[in-house]
């Protein structure tokens, strides 16, 4: 037995998002590792990025390592059930831990839950350890729930949009706190309930971005950002500008505070900066709308041109079809006129009408073949010959008394050649069935059709009794020979 390995196909948009997610999760894992190393070697600046800010809690750093690693491995998309269940259990453990830390803060009692992650703190150096804040716990709880959904085969597709919302909540929370730091908002680094360290806020921002990217381009958030609508276009254009503007404004504020410049100067510089950003956004907005309108106009013009061309093609095809129908009616009229010349008695009339039926049927089958092939000009002639031969045979015999050998090249034949060939073929097949074999014979009719240079070669032969000795081909004026010649 051969074992088949299934590989999931990922489109280019999803691949880009997955690469983004991997980058974000690697960064989070690296951040957690750096912060633990900073605790071990007493590197206070790495723990807070500023001596006035609070340091990241050690259990937060450990959680970043676990979350970053698990989410990164999720992007590999090739895990067995044991690994999936283990990952879900780890995410669940982190979720329970954060819930306990929130309860610990609400009742204002240290229940030593931190010992779950840090049973010993002796290796962490001399820097005073901070507890993970309830706000951080709540945001990490959202990320943990997202991880459970991501690894669950049942939940990941059903709650893909919900997962994207969770990631967005983590992303926005982290970004707001990071922005507040740049604007010098002390509520985030003073007190006991709200404080979130700056490294934690940055890590949460990247964690949320990675979760959103991991949900793929079909999730509602990513569709909103990566779509082709003007709304998506504007979001792609202006969200990065707004983010950079806010951060730059915060950087200016922080720089002025460090140099002890008065608030009036900051207000003036900040106002000028925001006016410049507003003008820039307005110009970009007008430019993007103009580009979108121009693109829409070009697409509309192209669509109109295509419709016009299609209409002309349809008109040409209708004219050609009408011309073909007229020619076929003329052909049928000629067949009936020529066939009626020798109808001297009832028996001959019956035989003549039977042949007329076969000839008209051969023309009709060409049009049936055209209809089935969705073409108005060419038919698959090999299929047509086989169907025509079997149709004529079954008109004479219910059983397969006569066998057919086909040696036919796969050729598409234009209708103006197919119809004359079909009439010739009908005459030859009917002649073989009617005259080549006795009632007890089991005959074989061989049909070959091939192209030789610029000509088509159609050959019909049988293993029957052959033509009479006194048969004169040139002097024969029967309807069948007239059609063949």
Q: What are the pLDDT digits (tens) for 106-135?
A: 887 666 555 566 555 555 555 566 778 888
pLDDT digits (tens, 9 = 90+) for 52-79: 777 888 889 999 999 999 999 988 765 6
pLDDT of residue 30: 94
**Average pLDDT of 352-377?**
77
Question: Per-residue confidence at 33, pLDDT binned at 50, 70, 90?
Answer: very high
pLDDT digits (tens, 9 = 90+) for 261-314: 555 555 566 666 666 766 666 666 666 676 767 777 788 888 888 888 888 877
* Higher pLDDT pick, 236 / 355: 355
User: SS3 for the chain, per residue?
Assistant: CCCCCCCCCCCHHHHHHHHHHHHHHHHHHHHHHHHHHHHHCCCHHHHHCCCCCCCCCHHHHHHHHHHHHHHHHHCCCCCCHHHHHHHHHHHHHHHHHHHHHHHHHHCCCCCCHHHHCCCCCHHHCCCCCCCCCHHHHHHHHHHHHHHHHHHCCCHHHHCHHHHHHHHHHHHHHHHHHHHHHHCCCHHHCCCCCCCCCHHHHHHHHHHHHHHHHHCCCCCHHHHHHHCCCHHHHHHHHHHHHHHHHHHHHHHHHHHHHHCCCCHHHHHHHHHHHHHHHHHHHHHHHHHHHHHHHHHHHHHHHHHHHHHHHHHHHHHHHHHHHHHHHHHHHHHHHHHHHHHCCCCCCHHHHHHHHHHHHHHHHHHHHHHHHHHHHCCCCEEEHHHHHHHHHHHHHHHHCCCCCCEEEEEECCCEEEHHHHHHHHHHHHHHHHHHHHHHCCCCCCCEEEEEEEEECCEEEEEEEECCCCCCCCCCCCCCCCHHHHHHC
pLDDT digits (tens, 9 = 90+) for 226-250: 666 666 666 666 666 666 666 666 6
pLDDT of residue 439: 67
Which H helix or E strand runs over 21? Answer: helix 12-40
pLDDT of residue 310: 83
pLDDT of residue 31: 92
CA 57/CA 136 separation, integer angstroms: 10
pLDDT of residue 444: 87
pLDDT of residue 245: 66
Whether 403 shows a pLDDT value over 80: the answer reads yes
Whether 7 shows a pLDDT value over 50: the answer reads no
Whether 379 shows a pLDDT value over 60: the answer reads yes
Helix (H, G, I), strand (E, B) or coil at 127: coil
pLDDT of residue 4: 38
Which H helix or E strand runs over 129? Answer: none
CA 291/CA 315 separation, integer angstroms: 36
* Higher pLDDT pick, 397 / 367: 367
pLDDT digits (tens, 9 = 90+) for 447-485: 998 888 888 888 888 888 777 766 665 555 565 566 665
Interacting residues of 74 by C-beta distance below 8 A, sequence separation 6+: 87, 147, 150, 151, 214
pLDDT of residue 223: 67
Question: Per-residue confidence at 208, pLDDT binned at 50, 70, 90?
Answer: very high
Question: Per-residue confidence at 253, pLDDT binned at 50, 70, 90?
Answer: low
pLDDT digits (tens, 9 = 90+) for 135-153: 899 999 999 999 999 888 8
pLDDT of residue 243: 67
* Higher pLDDT pick, 189 / 44: 44
């Amino acid at each position: 037995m051969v074992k088949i390995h299934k590989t999931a196909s990922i489109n280019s948009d999803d691949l880009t998002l997955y690469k983004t997610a991997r980058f974000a999760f690697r960064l989070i894992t690296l951040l957690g590792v750096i912060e633990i190393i900073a605790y071990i070697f007493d590197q206070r600046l790495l723990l807070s990025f500023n001596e006035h800010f609070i340091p990241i809690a050690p259990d937060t750093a450990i959680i970043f390592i676990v979350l970053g690693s698990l989410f990164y491995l999720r992007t590999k998309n090739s895990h067995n059930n044991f690994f999936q269940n283990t990952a879900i259990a780890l995410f669940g453990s982190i979720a329970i831990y954060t819930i306990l830390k929130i309860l610990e803060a609400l009742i204002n009692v240290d229940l030593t839950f931190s010992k779950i992650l840090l049973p010993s703190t002796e290796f962490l150096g001399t820097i005073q350890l901070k507890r993970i804040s309830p706000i951080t716990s709540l945001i990490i709880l959202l990320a943990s729930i997202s991880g459970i959904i991501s690894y669950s085969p049942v939940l990941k597709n059903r709650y893909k949009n919900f997962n994207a919302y969770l990631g967005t909540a983590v992303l926005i929370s982290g970004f707001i706190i990071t922005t507040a730091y740049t604007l010098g908002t002390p509520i985030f680094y003073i007190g006991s309930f709200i404080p979130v360290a700056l490294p934690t806020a940055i890590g949460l921002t990247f964690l949320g971005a990675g979760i959103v990217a991991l949900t793929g381009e079909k999730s509602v958030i990513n569709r909103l950002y990566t779509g082709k609508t003007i709304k998506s276009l504007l979001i792609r254009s202006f969200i990065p500008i707004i983010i950079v503007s806010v951060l730059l404004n915060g950087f200016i504020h922080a720089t002025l505070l460090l140099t002890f410049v008065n608030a009036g100067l900051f207000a003036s510089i900040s106002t000028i900066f925001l006016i410049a950003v507003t003008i820039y956004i307005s110009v970009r907005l007008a430019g993007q709308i103009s580009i979108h309108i121009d693109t829409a106009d070009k697409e509309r013009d192209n669509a109109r041109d295509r419709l016009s061309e299609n209409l002309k093609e349809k008109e040409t095809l209708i004219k050609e079809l009408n011309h073909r129908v007229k020619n076929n009616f003329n052909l049928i009229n000629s067949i009936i006129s020529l066939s009626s010349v020798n109808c001297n008695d009832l028996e001959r009339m019956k035989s003549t009408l039977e042949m007329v039926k076969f000839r008209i049927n051969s023309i009709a089958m060409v049009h049936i073949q055209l209809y089935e092939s969705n073409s108005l000009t060419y038919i698959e002639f090999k299929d047509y010959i086989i169907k025509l031969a079997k149709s004529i045979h079954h008109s004479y015999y219910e059983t397969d008394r006569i066998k057919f050998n086909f040696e036919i090249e796969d050729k598409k034949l234009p209708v103006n050649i197919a119809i004359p060939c079909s009439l010739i073929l009908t005459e030859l097949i009917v002649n073989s069935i009617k005259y080549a074999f006795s009632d007890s014979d089991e005959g074989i009719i061989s049909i070959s059709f091939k192209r030789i240079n610029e000509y088509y070669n159609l050959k019909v032969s049988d293993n029957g009794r052959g033509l009479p000795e006194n048969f004169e081909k040139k002097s024969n004026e029967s309807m069948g020979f007239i059609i063949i010649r």
